[in-house]
Each structure stands twice: as C-alpha cells, then as structure tokens.
C-alpha cells in the first residue's frame, strides 16, 4: 500500500517524519470536525446522506494513508504491530471481565486478578490466592 504522500507525487523519500506526523494530525482534525455536531451516531450511519458518508470515507482514508506513510518512515510493520496490540489488549482487558463495560479494569472487579501464561488466561479471585 502506498502512502498518500506517494500518491500526491512527493515520493516516500520526500516526506520526513515531522511532515507526515503533522499532516496526519491535520487529517485527524478534519475527521473530528465531521462528528463535532452530530451527537450520538448510530452504527452504520443510517441518518447520514450518501454525500456525508462519502466525505467521511475520504477523511478516514486520508488518516489511514498518512498513518501508513508514517509507519513506513519509521520502519514499523503496521500489520504486525496491530496484531501484537490486539494480543496485549486481550491480556490487559479479558473479555470475561470487560465485555459490555466501559469501566476501567480496576473498577470492574477489585477482588479479581488476571494472569496469562502462553496466551492461556486464568482468572482467580483474591480468596484463591490467600488474600482476604
């Protein structure tokens, strides 16, 4: 996948890290503006006009393309990094405790601890560990 800078004729070597970062942040700002006055937005955007959805798609693409360009400049394999992050989040926020809640993990169940061994999850209460 080519970065947006390449598509605009700049070439990946012509864009430095600072430029790519600043352009991506600018695009995130434009993306945020789309939602600024929308309030609660239902999944699938059923109340949006097709023109609005198309504009949203363009702004999401701009952010994605600059993100890919930035990761390329930094030498980061974005696919591998994303998969690793998903694995880390699964350990940090186990589905059995977090599904359906936006609370911080520490507030979900103060008497529960979670450990991971080779991606096998074990949840134990403090009582099982000898704590009161």
Inter-residue contact 126 to 111 (CB < 8 Å): yes
> pLDDT by residue (tens digit) across 72-88?
999 999 999 999 999 99
SS (HEC) of 55-67: HHHHHHHHHHHHH
Please check whether residues 49 and 98 belong to one and the same domain.
no
**Domain identity same for 107 and 52:** no
The reply to whether 82 falls in a domain is: no
Residue 84 lies in a domain: no
Q: Do residue 117 and residue 67 come from a single domain?
A: no
Please enumerate in sequence order all residues whose Cβ is within 8 A of that of 122, keeping only pairs 6 or more positions apart, or say none.
114, 115, 116
Q: Are residues 15 and 49 in the same domain?
A: yes
Position 79 scores a pLDDT of 96
Residue 63 within a domain: yes
Residue 121 has pLDDT above 50, yes or no: no
Structural domain range at position 69: 4-76
Whether residues 70 and 104 fall in one domain: no
- Say whether both 54 and 117 belong to one domain: no
Q: What is the CATH number of the domain that holds 31?
A: 1.10.287.1080
How many independent structural domains does the chain possess? Answer: 2
- Report pTM: 0.64
Residue 103 pLDDT grade (very low, low, confident, very high; cuts 50, 70, 90): confident
Residue 12 falls within a domain, yes or no?
Answer: yes
Q: What is the pLDDT of residues 42-79, one digit of tens each?
A: 999 999 999 999 999 999 999 999 999 999 999 999 99
Q: Between 12 and 124, name the one with better pLDDT.
A: 12
Q: How far is CA 14 from CA 4, 8, 21, in A?
A: 12, 11, 14
Q: 11 and 68 share a domain?
A: yes
Residue 34 located in a structural domain: yes
Q: Please tell me whether residues 15 and 70 are part of one structural domain.
A: yes
Rounded-to-integer distance, Cα 76 and Cα 117, Å = 27
Phi/psi region, residue 2 (left: phi>0; alpha: psi -120 to 50; beta: rest), is: beta
Is 85 a domain residue?
no
Residue whose token pair is 């980061």: 76
């Amino acid at each position: 996948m080519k970065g947006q800078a390449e598509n605009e004729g700049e070439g990946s070597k012509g864009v430095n890290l600072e430029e790519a970062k600043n352009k991506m942040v600018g695009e995130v700002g434009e993306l945020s503006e789309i939602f600024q006055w929308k309030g609660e937005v239902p999944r699938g955007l059923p109340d949006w006009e097709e023109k609005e959805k198309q504009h949203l798609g363009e702004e999401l693409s701009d952010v994605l393309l600059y993100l890919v360009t930035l990761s390329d400049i930094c030498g980061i394999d974005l696919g591998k990094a994303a998969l690793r992050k998903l694995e880390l989040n699964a350990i940090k926020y186990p589905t059995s405790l977090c599904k359906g809640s936006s609370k911080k993990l520490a507030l979900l169940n103060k008497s529960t601890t979670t450990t991971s061994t080779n991606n096998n999850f074990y949840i134990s209460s403090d009582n099982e560990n000898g704590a009161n």
